[in-house]
């Protein structure tokens, strides 16, 4: 099976949060204006196939997978009024920026719905891909148009969304839509799947239970957004809740607060926290003295993490099998990846949010060990990974893998021999696309390994 290298399409000149994050280092780390090459296959066979001939090469149709989940929800959305408990959850769109759609995510269910927007718990629950889609499609997205600057002086739906973001428990809500919510199919590797959506005409929230740490940060109008992110993280607030608060415009100094599109907020939080932890803690630790291999197979994805002696450096590479979510080519494995040396990155990672999600999990593990190391994250996305479910899968899978006992080796040759025995893509293919493996080959003189 031949291989093909690609990077995911990244839109140039995204207004990357300069109005919210004041740090120059953070802006550089999230700057997408560098030289990006996109050679991903274009075109889709879906219109011709209509789920009848599986022209994409997948083992099952991802469109039908979501439609089945939507069909289960449809009888509960018979009119324009919806009552339910938000997990809490919200969504801020990006199209039309700085005028964006914003609103809560509400299922037609009352009670504790927190699992619906808690990616930190989904792997522990043992959800299948179908079960995860069923879970997320229950969330109906309310939409109201707003300027991102309204976060500084909120009213109406924006104020309600901020109240949802401050809550630590599910929030009862009643929403009346202009029309009955309409189902949509969005395949996006940055955000989790969602259900139908509709324009809000009226929104009423029940009582909320405020998360006091988030409220403290939100009420500090002199605290920079980046410092607010770190205060929440170091106080033990889950990453997903930090992302919600950041997206709702609850952080930053007075007059500079903005609504942040959900997909941008996810990457921004992962990037800022991992960069700060890397520079302020990991780089001050002694170097790892052994080779470690961690492995996890989950939801059609194999994750292998190799930690090697040396000063901090990091690389993440994804191999997408034919028929997997982002590779419709039936004859080749497609690769994408990025890396950073000890000094870090100066451009936005071309592979998108998955890079920063994996980097956060890696630095968290090194801090627990009080070590620094060269870290290589390899991901194989197989044909059973039918549709993208969000970058959370990378963050949580790498976190989980790194929480297990690793296989430990004294030499690079032993570690690599074991590592590649766990993966289906051959060692020679990984060496072609990996900067860290290429450097290791030169340093260790392991020519005979290949």
pLDDT digits (tens, 9 = 90+) for 166-181: 999 999 999 999 998 8
The reply to whether 220 and 301 lie within a common domain is no
The reply to whether 292 and 274 lie within a common domain is no
Q: Residues 321-365: pLDDT tens digits?
A: 886 766 666 568 889 999 999 999 989 998 989 999 999 999 999
DSSP, collapsed to helix, strand or coil, labels residue 81 as strand
Asked whether 323 and 383 are in contact (CB, 8 A), the reply is: yes
C-alpha span between 325 and 67 (Å, rounded): 16
Q: Does the structure show a pLDDT above 70 at 293? A: yes
- Position 42 in a domain: no
C-alpha span between 151 and 371 (Å, rounded): 40
Residue 443: pLDDT band (50, 70, 90) is: confident
- Position 121 in a domain: yes
The pLDDT of 180-189, averaged and rounded, is 67
The reply to whether 220 and 255 lie within a common domain is yes
Q: Does the structure show a pLDDT above 80 at 194? A: no
Residue 385: pLDDT band (50, 70, 90) is: confident
Q: Residues 401-421: pLDDT tens digits?
A: 999 999 999 999 999 999 999
Q: Residues 93-121: pLDDT tens digits?
A: 999 999 999 999 999 999 999 999 999 99
What is the layout of strands, in order, in the sheet containing 291-298? 2-5, 332-340, 313-320, 374-381, 301-308, 291-298, 407-409
pLDDT at 337: 94
The pLDDT of 127-156, averaged and rounded, is 93
Among positive and negative, which fits the CA dihedral 27, 33, 35, 38?
positive
The reply to whether 266 and 373 lie within a common domain is no
C-alpha span between 376 and 306 (Å, rounded): 5
* Other Cβ atoms within 10 Å of 83 Cβ, number: 14
Q: Residues 275-288: pLDDT tens digits?
A: 999 999 999 999 99
- Position 7 in a domain: no
* Last residue within a domain, chosen from 280, 296, 326: 280
Higher-confidence residue of 188 and 142: namely 142
DSSP code at position 89: -
Higher-confidence residue of 67 and 160: namely 160
Cα angle 305, 311, 317 (rounded to 5 degrees) comes to: 30
The reply to whether 209 and 296 lie within a common domain is no
Token pair recorded at residue 120: 């930190």
The reply to whether 79 and 103 lie within a common domain is yes
Mean pLDDT of the chain: 85
* Last residue within a domain, chosen from 280, 305, 337: 280
DSSP, collapsed to helix, strand or coil, labels residue 422 as coil
pLDDT at 326: 64
Query: Among 271, 265, 101, which Cα is nearest to 190's?
Result: 265
Asked whether 55 and 49 are in contact (CB, 8 A), the reply is: yes
Token pair recorded at residue 107: 């299922």
Token pair recorded at residue 199: 């324009």
- Position 262 in a domain: yes
* Last residue within a domain, chosen from 227, 260, 280: 280
The reply to whether 314 and 168 lie within a common domain is no
The reply to whether 159 and 307 lie within a common domain is no
Residue 142: phi and psi, rounded to 5, are -85, 145
- Position 23 in a domain: no
- Position 13 in a domain: no
The reply to whether 297 and 228 lie within a common domain is no
Residue 106: phi and psi, rounded to 5, are -135, 125
Q: Does the structure show a pLDDT above 60 at 190? A: no
The reply to whether 257 and 345 lie within a common domain is no
Task: Count the domains in the chain.
Answer: 2
The reply to whether 143 and 275 lie within a common domain is yes
Query: The domain containing residue 79 runs over which residues?
Result: 61-280
pLDDT at 134: 86
Asked whether 65 and 136 are in contact (CB, 8 A), the reply is: no
C-alpha span between 325 and 59 (Å, rounded): 11
Helix (H) or strand (E) holding 270: helix 262-280
The reply to whether 337 and 245 lie within a common domain is no
Q: Say which residues have a Cβ less than 8 Å from residue 262's Cβ, sequence separation at least 6.
A: 90, 91, 92, 93, 94, 191, 243, 247
Helix (H) or strand (E) holding 96: none
The whole model's pTM is what? 0.86
pLDDT at 325: 66
Q: Strand pairing of 2-5 and 332-340?
A: parallel
- Position 318 in a domain: yes
Residue 136: pLDDT band (50, 70, 90) is: confident
- Position 38 in a domain: no
* Other Cβ atoms within 10 Å of 262 Cβ, number: 26
Rg (CA), the chain: 22
């Amino acid at each position: 099976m031949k291989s093909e290298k690609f990077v995911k399409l990244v839109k140039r000149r995204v207004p990357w949060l300069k109005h919210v994050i004041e740090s120059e280092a953070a802006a550089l780390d999230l700057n997408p204006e560098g030289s990006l090459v996109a050679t991903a296959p274009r075109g889709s066979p879906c219109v011709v196939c209509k789920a009848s001939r599986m022209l994409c090469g997948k083992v099952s149709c991802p469109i039908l997978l979501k439609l089945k989940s939507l069909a289960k929800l449809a009888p509960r959305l018979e009119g324009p009024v919806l009552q339910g408990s938000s997990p809490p959850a919200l969504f801020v769109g990006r199209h039309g920026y700085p005028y964006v759609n914003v609103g809560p995510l509400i299922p037609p269910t009352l009670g504790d719905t927190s699992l619906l927007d808690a990616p930190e718990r989904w792997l522990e629950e043992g959800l299948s891909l179908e079960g995860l889609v069923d879970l997320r499609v229950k969330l109906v997205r309310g939409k109201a148009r707003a300027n991102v600057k309204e976060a500084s002086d909120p009213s109406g739906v924006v104020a309600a969304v901020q109240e949802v973001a401050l809550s630590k428990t599910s929030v009862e809500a009643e929403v009346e839509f202009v029309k009955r919510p309409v189902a949509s199919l969005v395949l996006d590797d940055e955000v989790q799947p969602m259900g139908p959506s509709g324009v809000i005409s009226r929104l009423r929230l029940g009582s909320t239970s405020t998360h006091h740490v988030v409220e403290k940060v939100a009420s500090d109008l002199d605290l920079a957004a980046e410092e607010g992110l770190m205060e929440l993280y170091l106080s033990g607030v889950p990453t997903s809740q930090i992302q919600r608060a950041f997206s709702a415009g609850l952080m930053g100094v007075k007059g500079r607060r903005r609504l942040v599109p959900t997909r941008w907020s996810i990457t921004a939080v992962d990037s800022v926290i991992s960069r700060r932890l890397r520079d302020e803690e990991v780089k001050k630790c002694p170097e790892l003295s052994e080779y470690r291999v961690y492995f996890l197979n989950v939801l059609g994805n194999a994750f292998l993490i190799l930690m090697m002696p040396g000063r901090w450096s990091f690389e993440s590479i994804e191999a997408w099998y034919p028929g997997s979510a982002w590779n419709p080519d039936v004859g080749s494995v497609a690769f994408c990846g990025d890396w950073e040396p000890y000094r870090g990155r100066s451009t936005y990672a071309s592979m998108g949010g998955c890079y920063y999600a994996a980097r956060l999990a890696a630095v968290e593990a090194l801090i627990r060990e009080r070590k620094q190391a060269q870290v290589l994250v390899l991901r194989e996305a197989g044909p059973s990974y039918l549709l993208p479910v969000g970058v959370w899968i990378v963050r949580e899978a790498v976190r989980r893998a790194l929480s297990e006992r690793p296989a430990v080796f004294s030499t690079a040759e032993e570690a690599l021999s074991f590592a590649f025995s766990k993966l289906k893509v051959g060692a020679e293919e990984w060496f072609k696309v990996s900067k860290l493996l290429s450097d290791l080959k030169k340093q260790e003189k392991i020519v005979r390994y290949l």
